[in-house]
Amino acid sequence: MKKIKSLYIITVLLLGCTAQIKTGDETLTVHLDFTRQPENIHEIGLIDQVQILSLDCKEAIFGEVNKIIRYEDHIYLMDKSQTRSVVVYDTSGHFVSLISKRGKGPEEYIQLTDIFIDPDDNTLNVVSRIDKKILKYDITGNRLLEVKKISKPFTRFSKMKDGYVGYMGNYGEDRKMPYNIWTMSPDMKLENHFFDIAETWESITLGDGSVFSTYNANTNFITPMDYNIYHIEKDQVTVPYTFDLGKTGWPTEYKDYEQVSKMGNENRYILRFYNFQETPNHFIVHVLYGGQYLLGVYNKQSSVSHIARLEPYMDKYFFSFGQIIGFDEYAIYTLVDASEIKKMWNGRDQYNDFESEYPEQIKRLREKFPQVHEDGNPFLVMYHIN
């Protein structure tokens, strides 16, 4: 990483005034070379310890998990596209509650798009886009406390230290004020806005990943074809970090979705970061490059960067790395299908004899899980970060 002086100031319109998206006095640049041979994620000093949980399937079966939150002694899993529900577990994988309230009633949601924790009032918040409201539950998800109307149909929502921030997901709604980011007061009144929605990106959503992340109470934001990390504050946006991806960054002449979609060589470039997370010791970006999901990892203490491939875990147990569904400053969260765990638990499949190669790991897996139902909920793996 190297420090560079402020390179640019981008002026954008706010609510009745002018503000800036700008670098600070110094912006930190991280260089990541995704063309080099990736390293095993378990060998770069990123992961400290690993936990695997069997998620109780007696009370709730979910289809696709789009977001995970771990808060205190609860884990929250959102499935916005299949079961359209939120399932709450404790940190041992035991079922706590199910929120499944799809409908048009006053205490229901039409389109589940996000969940977040509000630590100020210790609530779980469920965001519904089309009907512009937030359902506030107690932290267990068992009791609905309040339904709050919001001013915009947000697809993502996050708590900030002095209010809230919402992301439109490229849905312009009001063509006179087509902005993607809106900051709000503690009572959820609109305050400022940033990032124009380009006409070529109008109503184009990007699916997986998260545009927001939090570290040390700072709210970070990422956007496609742009390798800056933005700090969102109530009345300004700054750029504390930027990533130089070299030849894998999009050429400057391609800056809108229409141009990207017409290209036949998208695998040569990294369209976006699916996730960005800062931790006490690292910057982590989650990308798709050359048809493979990889992590770019920068160690803030040693000033060394790594490109990491998501290899199976084979220390205490043996199982595949899993599908990344989220990060926080403490862990990477993945899901491994129960059918995959069952293969490991059996010790073999038609192509591999896992037990002969990893006998102790398979033994410990069977001791931890006396039974594995291959048609049950996926297993949650928490990779705790150094």
- pLDDT of residue 17 exceeding 50, the answer is no
Q: What pLDDT is stored for residue 250 in this prediction?
A: 85
pLDDT band at 156 (very low <50, low <70, confident <90, very high): very high
**How far does Cα 100 stand from its chain's mean position?**
22
pLDDT band at 263 (very low <50, low <70, confident <90, very high): low
pLDDT digits (tens, 9 = 90+) for 300-326: 999 999 999 999 999 999 999 999 999
CATH number at residue 136: 2.120.10.30
C-alpha torsion 91→59→135→236, nearest 10: 40
Q: What pLDDT is stored for residue 211 in this prediction?
A: 96
Q: Which amino acid is at 166?
A: G
Q: How far apart are CA 99 and CA 251, in angstroms?
A: 44
Strand order, beta sheet including 163-167: 156-160, 163-167, 179-184, 190-196
**What is the pLDDT averaged over residues 334-341?**
96
- pLDDT of residue 273 exceeding 80, the answer is yes
Question: Vertex 260, ends 255 and 261: CA angle to 5°?
Answer: 145
- pLDDT of residue 264 exceeding 70, the answer is no
pLDDT band at 12 (very low <50, low <70, confident <90, very high): very low
The highest-confidence range among 49-58, 206-215, 244-253, by mean pLDDT, is 49-58
The highest-confidence range among 14-28, 206-220, 293-307, by mean pLDDT, is 293-307
**What is the pLDDT averaged over residues 33-46?**
97
**What is the pLDDT averaged over residues 361-368?**
98
- Residues 277 and 327 sit within 8 Å (Cβ to Cβ): yes
pTM comes to: 0.91
Q: How far apart are CA 194 and CA 158, in angstroms?
A: 15
- pLDDT of residue 9 exceeding 50, the answer is no
Q: What pLDDT is stored for residue 25 in this prediction?
A: 63
Q: Where in the sequence is the domain holding 353, given as residue range(s)? A: 2-385
Tokens of residue 41, six digits:
């994620």
When divided into structural domains, the chain yields a total of 1
Q: What pLDDT is stored for residue 70 in this prediction?
A: 97
- pLDDT of residue 261 exceeding 80, the answer is no
**What is the pLDDT averaged over residues 335-354?**
95
Q: What pLDDT is stored for residue 278 in this prediction?
A: 98
**What is the pLDDT averaged over residues 44-60?**
92
pLDDT band at 63 (very low <50, low <70, confident <90, very high): confident
pLDDT band at 18 (very low <50, low <70, confident <90, very high): very low
pLDDT band at 10 (very low <50, low <70, confident <90, very high): very low
